[in-house]
């Protein structure tokens, strides 16, 4: 289980094509570079409908519209298409979800359906949303992957030791499914190149692409060059090669809870796990006991925790509560973690060898132990390059 971090592309935007937008706006009767979002939902009773958007400070309600006789209308503009969720306040004053996660863009968008059957509410007029659905369908992990990941997660939070044969077999399956997923993402992105959804999908999965692939793809988003997401793609080119398996991890200098600075190069241990986490991340904290057990089991393993907490007081409180027997540092921001290491969700980690090359990424404590023990038994471990 992971908690996804706010991405700047989720709240910033521009017009897809100036000429197309002007023509469409004239035909649809809305100003160029703006949107009109109209809803007609049978049986919906209440007073207001709200737009919820993910920002750098988390999920926030950014706009509201009156609900009148089962109808509502939002008008405004966005710089860049982004994902929103609609809520409404019912007649009892309770907030309810109406429509989850669709792309808002400068267009004439229509929602129609029945509140008693929300899954069948239809949306029309949103080009990027149609592409998002296609990409989401094509890149969904099979249920088996979630089942395997959950096996590791549940065992570790319960403090159970998994059979070594199970770990080995499950790990091989997970790697194969992740490789398949990587191929699916690359295929579907190429099919929808030039769209904002494809651009955002690349950014959310930047770690699976080589620098050469990203450079080649960036040329196919020329019409989006002024968008923040395109500029972010260009900055990703500098990071991709240093966040890939087999490459040395980019160094850092970060402070601990006493303000003393530590560098990556100063860390000891034949194996080093760089663990990104935060005090507010439930899955991160639930994995700490299993990480403690891994360190106790293998003296050659060292861990350095890198928190993306903005509230350092809460971070220090978590350090006191968890009593982690390894160095803990705090990063300047979640954006720093993305810009330097392409971290889009936590918990996230890098397992490094004695030369501080990346051996594996984003693996569970059981998998960490498996890799170390396999290597110690004379088998050379190498994660696949996606």
Tell me, what's the pLDDT at 1?
64
Which residues does 176 contact at the CB level (< 8 Å), separation at least 6?
none
CA 284 and chain centroid, separation: 15
Which residues does 278 contact at the CB level (< 8 Å), separation at least 6?
284, 307, 308, 309, 315, 346
Give the residue, 317 or 208, on which the prediction is more confident. 317
In angstroms, the CA 22 to CA 32 distance is 5
pLDDT tens, 121-169? 999 999 999 999 999 999 999 999 999 988 888 888 887 888 888 888 9
Q: Over the chain, what is the mean pLDDT?
A: 87
Residue 242 in this model has a pLDDT that exceeds 90: no
Cis peptide, bond prior to residue 347, ω within 30 of zero: yes
pLDDT, average across residues 36-59: 90
Provide the percentage of residues in the chain whose pLDDT is more than 70.
Answer: 89
Which residues does 380 contact at the CB level (< 8 Å), separation at least 6?
none
Q: Roughly how many angstroms between the first and final C-alpha of the chain, as a whole number?
A: 21
Residue 376 in this model has a pLDDT that exceeds 60: yes
Residue 17 in this model has a pLDDT that exceeds 50: no
Measured from the Cβ of residue 23, the count of other Cβ atoms closer than 10 Å reads 12
pLDDT, average across residues 254-276: 95
pLDDT tens, 51-92? 999 876 678 999 999 999 999 999 999 999 999 999 999 999
Residue 217 in this model has a pLDDT that exceeds 60: yes
Look at residue 332 and give its three-state secondary structure.
Answer: coil
Beta bridge partners of 203: none
In angstroms, the CA 329 to CA 256 distance is 4
Are 257 and 328 spatial neighbours (Cβ–Cβ below 8 Å)? yes
Whole-prediction pTM: 0.73
| CA angle (258 as vertex; 351, 356 as ends), nearest 5 | 20
Tell me, what's the pLDDT at 6?
52
Listed residue (291, 294, 280) closest to 346, CA to CA: 280
């Amino acid at each position: 289980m992971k908690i996804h971090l706010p991405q700047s592309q989720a709240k910033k935007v521009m017009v897809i094509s100036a000429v197309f937008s002007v023509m469409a706006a004239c035909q649809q009767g809305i100003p160029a570079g703006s949107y009109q979002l109209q809803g007609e939902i049978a049986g919906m009773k209440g007073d207001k409908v709200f737009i919820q958007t993910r920002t750098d400070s988390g999920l926030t309600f950014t706009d509201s519209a009156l609900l009148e006789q089962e109808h509502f209308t939002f008008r405004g503009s966005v710089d860049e298409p982004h994902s929103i969720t609609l809520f409404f306040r019912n007649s009892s004053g309770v907030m309810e979800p109406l429509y989850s996660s669709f792309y808002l863009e400068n267009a004439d968008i229509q929602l129609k359906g029945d509140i008693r059957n929300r899954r069948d509410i239809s949306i029309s007029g949103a080009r990027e949303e149609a592409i998002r659905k296609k990409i989401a369908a094509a890149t969904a992990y099979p249920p088996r992957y979630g089942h395997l990941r959950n096996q590791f997660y549940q065992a570790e939070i319960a403090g159970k030791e998994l059979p070594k044969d199970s770990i080995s077999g499950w790990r091989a399956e997970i790697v194969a499914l992740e490789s398949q997923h990587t191929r699916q993402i690359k295929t579907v992105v190429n099919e929808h190149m030039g769209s904002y959804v494809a651009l955002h999908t690349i950014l959310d999965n930047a770690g699976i692409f080589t620098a050469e692939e990203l450079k080649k793809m960036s040329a196919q988003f020329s019409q989006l060059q002024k968008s923040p997401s395109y500029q972010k793609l260009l900055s990703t080119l500098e990071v991709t090669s240093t966040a890939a398996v087999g490459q040395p991890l980019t160094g850092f200098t970060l402070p601990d809870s006493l303000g003393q600075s530590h560098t990556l190069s100063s860390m000891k241990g034949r194996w080093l796990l760089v663990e990104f986490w935060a005090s507010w991340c439930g899955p991160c904290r639930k994995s700490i006991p299993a990480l403690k057990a891994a360190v106790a089991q293998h003296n050659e393993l060292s861990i350095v925790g890198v928190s993306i907490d903005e509230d350092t007081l809460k971070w220090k409180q978590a350090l006191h509560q968890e009593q982690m027997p390894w160095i803990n540092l705090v990063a300047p921001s979640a954006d720093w973690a993305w810009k330097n290491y392409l971290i889009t969700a936590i918990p996230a980690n890098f397992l490094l060898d004695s030369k501080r090359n990346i051996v594996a990424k984003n693996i569970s404590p059981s998998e960490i132990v498996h890799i170390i023990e396999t290597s110690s038994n004379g088998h050379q471990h190498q994660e696949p390059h996606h």
